[in-house]
Structure 1
Amino acid sequence: MVKLVLDTGTLAESFWDGPARAIIGLWKSGEIILCVSQPLLREYAAIASKMGATAREKEEFVSLFSESPWVSTVGSAKRVDVIREDPTDDMFLDCAVAGGADFLITKDEHLLGLESYRRITIALPENFVKAHSVGYRH
């Protein structure tokens, strides 16, 4: 089964129709496994807050990731020091490496500039969706 990491921008985009939402649909249907770490879950919670979620809604949102059988939670030790322009982006690579992810899905230019890292393909959401023949509405 394909394992992937979603960066926070991609997760935020999943609230609207498009490729990011199609990826979430794959996850909810058990077709892919999401890799998460505690730092990543904190970022996801921050996104929920920015989207206007109440404290309860934020807790429910984050619990989706901690309670799903299609999530692999990994330790949060710092493993890589790659993105010099924005070191906070390294958390996504850390999670992908620790979780044995096949893909890191992002629109971040620093991460995309790598193209791949330790056999992890770094891809735009729309490219992942096209490659996996998943339909979505434009």
Structure 2
Amino acid sequence: MRIVVDTNVVVSGLLFGGAPLKVLRAASLGIVDLFTSNALVAEFSEVIERPHLDRKFSEANTTRRRLVSDYQAIVTVVNVAPLAERVSRDFDDDEVLACALAADCEFIVTGDKDLLVLSEYRGIRILNPTDFLAEIEL
């Protein structure tokens, strides 16, 4: 099963745990195949630099560089062409949709309401982490 996990879920899973972490563990165990784009890796790297996350890194006894490295170890980066038309209410979210199309994914896992409201895009189901885990029975 091929999936794209939105940046908000990656950050939440790696720093806070819960259902987002279970999704990432499914990828690390090979239960699902996780795909991303260079733009989404860059976004992830940028988001985890935010100062309000400093305490979480101290608590987790890890570094930002290590977190990026751990994430890159479980994902496959695909080349992404921009969408021909704007789809999401938030233009930046179109990168997630384009990545899922480029990787021929079945699911996008996100906590972003601008994506969740779509529920599906060109046959790709869009679910939050809890609903995705229920869908794959984890």
Q: Give TM class, smaller chain.
A: 0.7 to 0.9
Equivalent residue number for residue 28 of structure 1: 28
Task: Give, as a single letter, the amino acid of the residue that structure 2 aligns with 1:30.
Answer: G
Equivalent residue number for residue 57 of structure 1: 63
Misfit runs of 4+, over 6 Å? none
TM-score (norm 2): 0.83
Task: Give, as a single letter, the amino acid of the residue that structure 1 aligns with 2:2.
Answer: K
Equivalent residue number for residue 91 of structure 2: 87
Q: Is the 8 A contact 1:103 1:120 kept in 2?
A: yes
1:95, 1:131 → 2: CA distance? 21
How far apart are residue 63 of structure 1 and its match?
A: 2.5
2:115, 2:12 → 1: CA distance? 17
Equivalent residue number for residue 72 of structure 1: 76
Equivalent residue number for residue 12 of structure 2: 13
Greater share of helix residues, 1 or 2? 2
Equivalent residue number for residue 46 of structure 2: 46
Task: Pick from 103, 118, 122 the counterpart of residue 118 of structure 1.
Answer: 122
Q: CA RMSD in A?
A: 2.0
Equivalent residue number for residue 96 of structure 1: 100
Q: Give ranges in structure 1 of 5+ residues lacking alignment.
A: none
Identity of counterpart residues, as a percentage?
Answer: 26
Q: Secondary structure at the match of 2:34?
A: strand
TM-score (norm 1): 0.83
How far apart are residue 60 of structure 1 and its match?
A: 2.7
- After superposition, give the CA deviation of every residue in 1:82-133 in whole Å (9 maximum; x if it has no partner): 11x3101101001101011111011211111111111110001100111222
Count of equivalent residues: 129
2:83, 2:36 → 1: CA distance? 15
